[in-house]
Amino acid sequence: MDLLEFARGPALQVASIIFIAGLIWRLIHLFLIPKKIDMSEARAAGERAGAVRTIFSRFLHHGEFRARTANGSALAYTMHLGLAVVIFGSAPHIFFIESLTGLSWPALPNVAIHVAAALTLAALIGSLIRRRTHPVLRLLSNFDDYFTWLVTVAPIVTGLLAVAHLGGRYETLLAIHILSFSVFLVWFPFGKLMHSFIVIGSRYTTGLTFTRRGAKV
């Protein structure tokens, strides 16, 4: 068994199992967290409407902070949207998703994937520079932040190198790309990447609590 066969076979299969099992474990854990009953009288009506509103209102910062956070927001949106295009728009990735779920859809043109990957890489580099130069972010950052950045940027870099045939044989570059993606899958449920699965529920819960307390959401 050569490196590419190992990457496509056992490595990716084990990573997929850990990914799915980890997601299930994290979601079950969240649902089993004891919930305190708020015995106080609600200060505002329409709690559920406020919760739904919070899901969308948090996509942008409040006006008084928007100018100060514009650069960070631009980097974050470029990175997230670019990743979404690369993951869900590339033909090989769609084939992989189809093998797991049976779901499939038309792929985007290669040029769109390459542009999205390049923009994502630029945004990831920009976000790292911002994290290292911003005094508050640097103080708050920990191993999870940096390792999450590493396992996110590695598949992008290795994928671009494989497509461009730079740095080695295509089969070797492809194997390294798949292995880096396997590491991404394994880390996903246990690091900060998990926020992509729980962000909607988290915002809904926050909006529900704040609306009940009379806060403007």
Domains of the chain: 3-21+69-212 (1.20.950.20)
Q: Amino acid letter at 120?
A: T
Report pTM.
0.82
pLDDT band at 126 (very low <50, low <70, confident <90, very high): very high
What is the rounded CA–CA span in Å between residue 66 and residue 140? 21
Average pLDDT over residues 136-163: 93
The pLDDT tens digits of the residues spanning 87-122 come to 999 998 898 888 878 889 999 999 999 999 999 999
Residue type at 93?
A: H
pLDDT in tens, 25-50: 988 887 777 777 766 666 666 667 76
Residue with tokens 């779920």: 101
Task: Give the contacts of 38 (CB within 8 A, at least 6 positions apart).
Answer: 209, 212
